[in-house]
Amino acid sequence: MGVTTGGSILVVAGTHGNERNAAWLLEQWQGDAATLNTQGLPLVFERGNPAALQACRRYIDRDLNRSFAPELLSDPAQQDLEVCRARELLARHGPQGAVPAQVVFDLHSTTAAMGNSLVVYGRRAADLALAAGMQQRLGLPIYLHEADGAQTGFLVERWPCGLVVEVGPVPQGVIQATICRQTQLALEAGLEVLAQARAGALTLPRQLAVHRHLGSVDLPRSQGGSPAALLHPALQGADWRPLGLHDAVMLKASGGPICLGEVLPPALAGQARYWPVFVNEAAYDEKGIAFALTRREEWSVHHGWCEALQVQAQGL
Amino acid sequence: MGVTTGGSILVVAGTHGNERNAAWLLEQWQGDAATLNTQGLPLVFERGNPAALQACRRYIDRDLNRSFAPELLSDPAQQDLEVCRARELLARHGPQGAVPAQVVFDLHSTTAAMGNSLVVYGRRAADLALAAGMQQRLGLPIYLHEADGAQTGFLVERWPCGLVVEVGPVPQGVIQATICRQTQLALEAGLEVLAQARAGALTLPRQLAVHRHLGSVDLPRSQGGSPAALLHPALQGADWRPLGLHDAVMLKASGGPICLGEVLPPALAGQARYWPVFVNEAAYDEKGIAFALTRREEWSVHHGWCEALQVQAQGL
């Protein structure tokens, strides 16, 4: 029924080794197929970073979810554990791999209060269709990550279609039943969209709400690199809630507030409101990100998106 | 004015390298003495595990807060980083150290919803007096840890008086302003108690509420060690709230609840109610602890406790 056949859907958990909720779920799904509603679709499961999972650390040598940049993958001198693992995953399940996958779901968790949410990288039509269908079913907010030269090499970008499911807040290293439940609901919604697309029966909503990445804000730092201010308590847990320039976003060590306008990078100026995401994510401290700022937009769903996803899904 | 003179109060932060809130506070206090109300008491500050703080990991070789057992400290063959660091802290600030401390506050955080709380090890009179005074000021719940052969070698046990301040929930690796604020309030309440004790003017309440450690409960495990059930959502975040034998504490992978009575270790039987603490603490997974169970008791404050603390405080 499709353009290509024999393809599958790749489900990755534990791309970061201290994000254990999806990794735990994956073990259940592999142990008992009845625990996941697959809609009859062909799935393959992979633990993203088994060595990091074993160590309960985000990564061993480098962040696996920044290791899929073509220039890293093609550099024979680059032998970091995670780059080697990226090559291995592509050799197995990449579009030209041994058991090729058309679509990938990369299941993450975060210490930020993101709720149950999606991250889409760039504006590929099939990704937007998949995200729109999932948003229609569960109301999940979508973080559209694009045009950030400091953050590249994401896993899902190496497959024709794919997105990240991001659920929080949950501490690193902790499994919580509600986080697992949300993760599974998101994946099952995605599989339902793909099943409809494979059947040529997918209908999408007319509108899609996205939160488009504008840039990131870090805390001020002392010379030694330590934070010279803290995230403001009013912003802690307030992911997706709009901020104005006069809203407090940090707290000085001396106790006074710092407003968004005081720390907004000039390149991000010009918006009336900003929607923060990944607020105080533990792993982003080393990346110099206290929170990211987005702009909320309502997009019309293009007819071509649905077709693009159906092309991928018909290969399943 | 005291039995011994020239002693000080040791304040330790970052005993676990991924508990960053107190470590951040300590940097502020060292940078600007006005940021902490010391009551004029002589304080010395130490980062417990600088190498682990640098790596943002709980420990490098072994848990520093289980490395103060006399048999470890005295074994010349034992050269783990944390045992060496324990010897170093004792050589500097132990009771017979270069700059001896009479009292130690060890400042921790946890992924469990412990709120602002105290942990006391055993029933030393001076510790109980200090804890009673802090509970009187801030209402902090007290976890009395004793008689658990599987958990020994705690830092504060090597000083004549000392306790742990434990604040949560906060993810590992994350600094939150409210967690810092609670930590500082607890320390300042402790210093106020010690200042009164030094002045011979300490009065204690008549009653002390303690939660006495009974034992720990782990999740059922698969042969590979992975959890075969999850903590029940009703217990997540419910530290200090009493449980009966028919209360759900876990959730099977298949979805059904597991009640406390089904998983209670036989040695812990016989209580009408149990007060859980350290529920789903990230670092206790490797110790096989899903939560600890305590028994809440109201104790009469003995007159001798106050005297015992004043003896220590008069050495300050």
Asked which of A82-91, A186-195, B220-229 is least confident by mean pLDDT, the reply is: B220-229
Please report, for residues A314, B93, B134, the alpha-carbon distance to residue A1 in angstroms, rounded to integers and kept in the order given.
6, 76, 72
- Which pLDDT score, from 0 to 100, does residue A6 have? 67
Rounded CA-CA distance A21/A25 in Å is: 6
How far is the CA of A138 from the CAs of B40, B94, B132, in angstroms? Answer: 58, 58, 50
Output the pLDDT for position B1: 34
Q: Which residue has the higher pLDDT, A79 or B253?
A: A79
From B97, B116, B119, select the one nearest B44 (Cα to Cα): B97
Question: Looking up tokens 């009336």, which residue turns up?
Answer: A272
Domain ranges of chain A: 8-206+301-313, 211-299
Q: If you average pLDDT over each of A253-257, A273-277, B219-223, which comes out highest? A: A273-277
Q: How many residue pairs from chains A and B have C-beta atoms closer than 8 A?
A: 91
Give the Cβ contact number of residue A147 at 10 Å. Answer: 10
For residue range A82-129, what is the model confidence (pLDDT) as tens digits? 999 999 999 999 999 999 999 999 999 999 999 999 999 999 999 999
- The residue written with tokens 């024979």 in the block is A76
Mean pLDDT of chain B: 95
Q: What is the mean pLDDT of residues B31-44?
A: 95
Distance set, CA A296 to CA A133, A214, A218 (Å): 18, 10, 21
Nearest alpha-carbon partner for B172 in B314, B74, B53, B49: B53
| pLDDT of B59 | 97
Identify which of A177, A227, A233 has the shortest CB distance to residue B230. Answer: A177
The chain A residue lying nearest B57, using CA atoms, is A57
The pTM score is 0.95
Does the beta-carbon distance from A173 to B178 stay under 8 Å?
no
State the Cα–Cα distance between residues B35 and A253, nearest whole angstrom: 9
Residue B283's nearest CA partner among B151, B164, B188 is B151
CATH class of A211-299: mainly beta
Half-sphere exposure of A298 (CA within 13 A, CB side): 3
What pLDDT, on the 0 to 100 scale, is given for residue A2? 36
Environment class of B5 (CB within 10 Å of its CB; exposed 0-12, middle 13-18, buried 19+) = exposed
Question: What is the dotted CATH code of the domain comprising B8-206+301-313?
Answer: 3.40.630.10
Helices and strands in chain A, H and E counts: 8, 12
For CA atoms B231, B233, B239, B243, the dihedral sign is negative
Chain A interface with B: residues with Cβ < 8 Å? 24, 27-28, 32, 35, 56-57, 111, 169-178, 180, 226-227, 230-233, 236, 251, 253-254, 280, 282-283, 285-286
Beta bridge partners of A258: A250
Separation CA B284–CA A174 (nearest Å): 10
Cα radius of gyration (chain B): 20
Residue count of chain A: 316
Report the pLDDT value the prediction gives residue A5, as an integer from 0 to 100: 52
Q: Which residue in A163, A156, A160, A227 sits closest to A191, CA to CA?
A: A163
Partners of A28 on chain B (C-beta within 8 Å) are 253
Task: Look at residue A120 and give its three-state secondary structure.
Answer: strand
Q: Which two tokens stand for residue A56?
A: 């309960």
Contact flag A174-B282 (C-beta cutoff 8 Å): yes
Bond from prior residue into A276 cis (ω within 30 degrees of 0)? no
Residue A167 DSSP symbol: E
Does residue B58 have a pLDDT over 60?
Answer: yes
